[in-house]
Copies of this chain bind each other. A is one copy, B any other.
Amino acid sequence: MKSMASTSEKILDVAQSLIVAGGYNGFSYADISAAIGIRKASIHHHFPTKAELVSVLVDRYRRQAEVGLESLRGELSSPAEQLQSYLNYWRTCIRDASPSFCVCAMLAGEMQMLPEEVASRVRAHFQNLAGWLTSVLRAGMEQDLFRLNNRPEEEAQMLMASVHGAMLSARAFNDPGLFTIIVTPQITRLLGRDS
């Protein structure tokens, strides 16, 4: 009973890895079909249109992200540890090339030509993530763990941009380690003063 993933979940898994590699226009039903050994028509049975497939995909991604981030927010760990865990997640992903890029970050680049139903979901993820980071930063500030030079919501945007930019650079230079090099000093900066 190793992987009991349903067909529709397998479809979403493959679609996600294809989007991460090449964006919305970078994959087709034929690609998915070939990858999991099922006919195109069967994929249409589960997801009538491409826009719907990607919408469901982003919904699933958002749900997983929400759960993941929420679980970090437990009383167990300090805001500093929460932030570090978030970054460790991506560091591991990028090193192991599992999903070496955030689906929503990828789609955000194509915002202007995405079906509206997809675009709005991507926007929503960005809002969620910014919100989570803001609340963690604010908590850390109130506990005197972080010394912020800007308002928490601004520092959250800065951090989010660093993370996404670091993903891009790691990919452009084909150097997973670059992610850590870029992102770690930003945390160091929040924690204290000097590196």
Question: Is B172 a contact of A158 with CB atoms below 8 Å?
Answer: no
| Contact code string A12-29 (vs B, CB < 8 Å = 1, else 0) | 000000000111111000
Place the interface of chain A in its size category.
35 or more
Q: Which residues in B have their C-beta under 8 angstroms from that of A127?
A: 173
Q: Given B122, B157, B164, B194, which contacts A178 in the complex, CB threshold below 8 Å?
A: B157
Interface pairs (20), CB distance under 8 Å: A22-B112, A23-B109, A25-B26, A104-B172, A108-B171, A108-B172, A109-B171, A111-B172, A126-B169, A126-B173, A149-B195, A150-B185, A158-B162, A158-B182, A158-B185, A164-B164, A164-B169, A165-B165, A165-B166, A189-B189
| Beyond A154-B181, A157-B181, A160-B169, 4 extra complex contacts between A and B, CB < 8 Å | A123-B173, A157-B169, A160-B165, A161-B165
Using a CB–CB cutoff of 8 Å, the interface residues on chain A facing chain B are 21-26, 101, 104-106, 108-113, 122-123, 126-127, 149-150, 154, 157-158, 160-166, 168-169, 171-174, 178, 181-182, 185-186, 188-189, 193-195
